[in-house]
Structure 1
Amino acid sequence: MSKPELPGWRWGPFTFRLPFYHTRFYWQEALQGLFVAAATGLALVPLMMEFFGLTFEQAVAMSMIHSILIGSAVIFFGEPYAPGWVTPALPLVLAFVLGGYDDPASRFQAMTALSLNFAVLLVVLGVSGLGKKFVLWLPDTLKAGIILGAAIAALKRVFIDDAERFLFQQPIAITLACAVCLIFAFSLPMQKLKERYKVFAIIGALGLLPGFIIAGVVGPMVGEVSYDIQWGILIPPVGEAWNLMSPFVIGWPSLDMFLQGMPLAIITYVILFGDMVTGNEVIRDGLTKRQDEHIDINPTRTHLSVGIRNALMGIFAPFFPTQGAMWTGVQVIIVQRWKQGVEGMNSLHSGLASYYMMGVPILFFLLPLLTGLQPLLGVALSLTLVLTGFACAYVAMSIPQNNTSRGTVVLIGAALAFFEPWIGLTFGVLATILLVGWDRNPDPIPHED
């Protein structure tokens, strides 16, 4: 007898699960989602205001659209992953868009081009089954170089490109937030403390939130943060934001934008594929404890759902790459509680839906929460990029098997971080061939279906 899958309404390869009807509500996941999603989902607001000409309210409206699309992965498409950004690609995208285009309209058009390129790539590779073959074909040195390029670009954005706007304005708050999160997420001595003391394990499981709280408390003490909390309900001005960013209003990207953005779409796909593999392994580990529930892992469905979400984002709220397959930290946290048994969580899908607040973007209407977070959004952006840079660096440097490959990875990473994507990618291919050879791993993901 096969294990049952949580029922829902099938449409094509997807499954729509109606919140509160198909999926149960768990306050533990919802509470984490409310605050952690607030700290990260709004992190792009300062960039939208500084470089894309949006007001705070319009940027919140844009973030709300992103949030709805992200939540749809669980609710409408039936994905078994906690969805999030393709975060390692973000610094490369910002370098490409902000460095290559001067006015907000053209920057939004470039974001549309990237989103639609990525959507088409996903649909073609997903339906044809070529996605896995493509990633298997790539050499390890080139993959590592792409990931290290994201690390260098992320740290360059924080410490050089945008330092005057964020880091120099709130140096103590940002430094403390980054230090706390790096220590709890990556410190080897802290891992030992987590094993011995439950309180450290609980703090570490909260992701970005501890660093964010430290910045929120210390910031006012040192004069770097000033709160102006307003009460009431905010109705996000979606119409105003649409008029400033949708290609239906400001015009469609040029052919040149599509062509220049294609290498970056390919780079982002390589990163996304790694997220999907990681997500599958986390679920499989959970299934060793939860043999009562069947979780359908379907790479074709995932390709299509991420592709559809990126196409919709490119039309309604273009800001690439906020529509990825998986948010690793959240996936691990939810699966850990799901593993504890049916008494704590009836289904993985219920835990995921609860974390994303059943697809209802409550946070974007709560004016006290939004205005309370507003002076900390620069901290949230810097924190996201620093953690991305650190994580990408250690993943990238674990891949090369010899010193020549390690040196080549650094060269490729620097080229991708400092030059346009097609130049960096071309350099990466040539450097790999000439210095290392096509060092393809014949079986890098042995458990993938």
Structure 2
Amino acid sequence: MSGQARRDGWNWGPFTFRLPFYHTRLMWPEFLQGLLVSTATGLALVPLLMGYFGLGFEQAVTCTMLHSVLLVAALYVFGEPYAPGWNTAALPLVMAFVFSQYTQPEQRFQAMTAMSIGFAALVFALGITGLGRKLMEWLPPTLKAGIILGAAIASFKQVFFDDAEKFLWTQPISTTVACAVCLVCLFSIPLHKLKHGNRGVMLLVSLGMLPGFAAAALVGPLVGEVDYQVQWGWMVPPVADTVARMSPFSIGWPSADMYIRAIPLVLITYVIQFGDWVTGDAVLRDGMPARRDDPVDIDPTRSHLALAIRNFISALVAPFFSTQGTLWTGVHVVVVQRWKDGPRAMRDLHSGMLSYYLMGLPFIYFLLPLLTAMKPLLGIAL
């Protein structure tokens, strides 16, 4: 079988299944970054699930594992070319709605189910009718540029203003060090010029956000902002027990009123989601001229259908609306940036993307030392 055939995967309907390690190759720089950054970020919901949804620590970790499995399915089950992530901008709106309207954990999970199903139905309808594709193709370049700029400003505002008290100001020195090192490693033109003649610099640059994260992990304890309390052992995620606490098959289905109340948030989330697609496409198209050897298939119809399926399954198993989005912008930019360096740096885009998400293997959720070590670094990773 040719190398190109190996990359192409197995087609099923509009989707492409790529078997990890067979159709995709392990890229160690992305894998090591994902081991720390993806782990810490994925666990950010654990305190929320414990404090407001009545789950214990092991159940909350299991819930994030289920979210992660569905999220990564976008890459190897559906063949999407984007680094998948939460619909982060919608999360504060979702939390405000759920917390203000419902008081019991069961009701809150039912509300999450209603929003997830409503969103899945909307996205599926736009995908199956082709309206989603037409909307993407119709959008003028100037409006696309405005959406991209708006998304960047919104992300900046959320991190450095809206959520500053919860994250930035609790670990200001560590977070500043992490951001500074990440910016230098990712976007410093002089540093990137040096990588062609210096193996050490090339290794540093290839690690993307990992040097910044590692620097924060070292500086944090020195300035008293990070306190590691590592626990040893294994954790067997209680999947059945966790699903029983969340699934509509166990706690009951949402009422008609819940579906109706969810409509405004569903529409708002789609607008935000649309902006993510525009941003993801722009980043990919910027890198395509440098990688004509690795053509990337951007298909709005497939993206709509894949997103709808993931949100619908999430609604039935682990409902938590806006965790099944399309784009983790930071990771997407990091992976595409190295992909642009050519086949010697990254064989193909899908290998780099899947490596960042640990080849789709959720083994980190079984490692108690890693889980507990990541706890104090959650805010920095976000």
TM range (shorter): 0.7 to 0.9
Give me the whole-angstrom Cα distance separating, in 2, the residues matched to 1:155 and 1:256. Answer: 36
2:31 counterpart letter in structure 1: A
Bigger drift between 275-284 and 110-119 goes to 275-284
3-state secondary structure, aligned to 1:43: helix
- For 2:253, the equivalent position in structure 1 comes to 252
Q: Could you tell me how far 1:66 is from its partner in structure 2?
A: 0.8
Within a 5 Å distance, the mapping from 1:26-425 to structure 2 comes to 26-131=27-132, 158=163, 172=170, 174-180=171-177, 194-197=188-191, 206-207=208-209, 213=214, 216-217=217-218, 220=221, 225-377=226-378, 379-380=379-380, 384=382
| Mapped contact 2:277–2:327 kept (Cα < 8 A) | yes
| Mapped contact 2:25–2:351 kept (Cα < 8 A) | yes
Give me the whole-angstrom Cα distance separating, in 2, the residues matched to 1:154 and 1:80. Answer: 26
Q: Could you tell me how far 1:251 is from its partner in structure 2?
A: 0.8
Give me the whole-angstrom Cα distance separating, in 2, the residues matched to 1:225 and 1:180. Answer: 13
Change in 2 beyond 3 A, CA 1:177/1:107:
farther
- For 1:419, the equivalent position in structure 2 comes to none
What whole-Å deviation, never above 9, does each CA across 1:369-400 have from its counterpart, x for those lacking one? 011123444x35xx63xxxxxxxxxxxxxxxx
| Mapped contact 2:180–2:212 kept (Cα < 8 A) | no
Q: Could you tell me how far 1:315 is from its partner in structure 2?
A: 0.9
Give me the whole-angstrom Cα distance separating, in 2, the residues matched to 1:50 and 1:203. Answer: 39
| Mapped contact 2:82–2:327 kept (Cα < 8 A) | yes
Give me the whole-angstrom Cα distance separating, in 2, the residues matched to 1:273 and 1:81. Answer: 13
Give me the whole-angstrom Cα distance separating, in 1, the residues matched to 2:97 and 2:250. Answer: 23
2:370 counterpart letter in structure 1: L
Change in 2 beyond 3 A, CA 1:158/1:277:
closer
1:243 counterpart letter in structure 2: A
What whole-Å deviation, never above 9, does each CA across 1:298-339 have from its counterpart, x for those lacking one? 110000001100111111111111111121221121122222
Bigger drift between 108-117 and 214-223 goes to 214-223
Change in 2 beyond 3 A, CA 1:110/1:16:
same
Alignment root-mean-square deviation, CA:
3.4
Q: Could you tell me how far 1:197 is from its partner in structure 2?
A: 4.2
3-state secondary structure, aligned to 2:8: coil
What whole-Å deviation, never above 9, does each CA across 1:382-431 have from its counterpart, x for those lacking one? x63xxxxxxxxxxxxxxxxxxxxxxxxxxxxxxxxxxxxxxxxxxxxxxx
Give me the whole-angstrom Cα distance separating, in 1, the residues matched to 2:249 and 2:273. Answer: 28
| Mapped contact 1:184–1:204 kept (Cα < 8 A) | no
Q: Could you tell me how far 1:116 is from its partner in structure 2?
A: 0.8
3-state secondary structure, aligned to 1:15: strand
| Mapped contact 2:230–2:373 kept (Cα < 8 A) | yes
Q: Could you tell me how far 1:146 is from its partner in structure 2?
A: 10
| Mapped contact 2:173–2:220 kept (Cα < 8 A) | no
Give me the whole-angstrom Cα distance separating, in 1, the residues matched to 2:190 and 2:225. Answer: 36
1:241 counterpart letter in structure 2: T
Give me the whole-angstrom Cα distance separating, in 2, the residues matched to 1:286 and 1:303. Answer: 23
3-state secondary structure, aligned to 1:324: coil
Q: Could you tell me how far 1:101 is from its partner in structure 2?
A: 1.3
What whole-Å deviation, never above 9, does each CA across 1:47-80 have from its counterpart, x for those lacking one? 1111111111111100111111111111111111
3-state secondary structure, aligned to 2:230: coil
Change in 2 beyond 3 A, CA 1:154/1:48:
farther
Count the aligned residue pairs.
366
Q: Could you tell me how far 1:179 is from its partner in structure 2?
A: 3.5
| Mapped contact 2:133–2:301 kept (Cα < 8 A) | no
1:35 counterpart letter in structure 2: L
| Mapped contact 2:33–2:207 kept (Cα < 8 A) | no
Give me the whole-angstrom Cα distance separating, in 2, the residues matched to 1:49 and 1:347. Answer: 39
Give me the whole-angstrom Cα distance separating, in 1, the residues matched to 2:350 and 2:52. Answer: 37
1:97 counterpart letter in structure 2: V
Bigger drift between 210-219 and 84-93 goes to 210-219
Give me the whole-angstrom Cα distance separating, in 1, the residues matched to 2:343 and 2:95. Answer: 43
| Mapped contact 1:185–1:204 kept (Cα < 8 A) | no
Unaligned runs of 5+ in 1: 385-449
| Mapped contact 2:24–2:351 kept (Cα < 8 A) | yes
Give me the whole-angstrom Cα distance separating, in 2, the residues matched to 1:151 and 1:336. Answer: 20
1:322 counterpart letter in structure 2: T
Unaligned runs of 5+ in 2: 193-200
Change in 2 beyond 3 A, CA 1:155/1:332:
closer
1:273 counterpart letter in structure 2: F
Give me the whole-angstrom Cα distance separating, in 1, the residues matched to 2:277 and 2:263. Answer: 21
Give me the whole-angstrom Cα distance separating, in 1, the residues matched to 2:187 and 2:283. Answer: 23
1:234 counterpart letter in structure 2: M
- For 1:431, the equivalent position in structure 2 comes to none
Bigger drift between 72-81 and 221-230 goes to 221-230
| Mapped contact 1:85–1:321 kept (Cα < 8 A) | yes
| Mapped contact 1:81–1:279 kept (Cα < 8 A) | yes
3-state secondary structure, aligned to 1:288: helix
| Mapped contact 1:176–1:214 kept (Cα < 8 A) | no
3-state secondary structure, aligned to 1:42: helix
Change in 2 beyond 3 A, CA 1:42/1:129:
same
